[in-house]
């Protein structure tokens, strides 16, 4: 069994995917612990939830920094101080600078509410409904320098119904997100993910 991993989670809002990772850690499904949760918004609901679970919860406002990279450097400093092995973006509404990405190459995960490379960016569920696709879903991927572009770890499909609205599709996709994000974190913390170019290989136990 590899050493337990230290996980840092970045949020901007309610942190529902953060909670799914915390829950899986508490159930012993993940060989790791959420050691810090950081939000760029001091009033983020997820900070209170994280603190209630015993995780360190910090607010670092991007408005206090002159540019993206200086904010990123402050966040990375806090992550490195806590010896974080894996960074999980969970509704973090900030694009990461190339400097941040290079500091944690293949150690930053994000979850997106669509089957990438389809419908990147904001409102993936609305894009799917508007486009009339029959299948959408969720994707967990490693983060690279481009938006919603990095190597894909796990995807799971969700049927798009004829009567779906943005909200109804979002609700069903979110349930899938809460399943596959902890699954991807579990694989990372068990040292079972190998990245070669754009491909992520899941190695046997």
Catalytic residues: 112
Strand pairing class (86-89; 108-112): parallel
Phi-psi region of 183 (alpha: psi -120 to 50; beta: other; left: phi over 0): alpha
Counting DSSP H helices and E strands in the chain, the numbers are: 6, 9
Q: Beta strands of 40-126 (E only): which ranges?
A: 56-59, 86-89, 108-112
Query: CA triplet 126, 130, 136: central angle to 5 degrees?
Result: 65
Strand pairing class (86-89; 152-159): unpaired
SS3 (DSSP) at 15: coil
Q: Are 125 and 113 in contact (CB under 8 A)?
A: yes
Q: Are 179 and 156 in contact (CB under 8 A)?
A: yes
Q: Report helix angle 45-52 to 16-26, nearest 10.
A: 10
Under DSSP, the state recorded for 96 is P
């Amino acid at each position: 069994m590899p050493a337990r991993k230290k996980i840092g989670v970045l949020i901007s809002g309610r942190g529902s995917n953060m909670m799914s990772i915390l829950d899986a850690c508490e159930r012993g499904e993940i060989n790791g612990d959420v050691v810090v949760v950081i939000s760029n918004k001091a009033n983020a609901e997820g900070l209170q939830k994280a603190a209630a679970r015993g995780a360190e919860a910090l607010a670092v406002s991007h408005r206090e920094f002159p540019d993206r990279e200086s904010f990123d450097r402050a966040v990375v400093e806090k992550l490195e101080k806590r010896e974080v092995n894996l960074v999980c973006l969970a509704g973090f509404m900030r694009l990461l600078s190339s400097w941040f990405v290079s500091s944690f190459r293949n150690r930053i995960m994000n979850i997106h509410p669509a089957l990438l490379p389809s419908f990147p960016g904001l409102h993936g569920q609305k894009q799917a409904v508007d486009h009339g696709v029959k299948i959408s879903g969720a994707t967990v991927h490693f983060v690279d320098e481009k938006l919603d572009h990095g190597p894909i770890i796990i995807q799971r499909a969700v049927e798009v119904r004829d009567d779906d609205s943005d909200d109804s599709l979002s609700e069903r996709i979110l349930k899938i997100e809460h399943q596959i994000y902890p699954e991807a974190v579990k694989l990372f913390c068990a040292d079972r993910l190998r990245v070669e170019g754009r491909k992520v290989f899941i190695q046997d136990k």
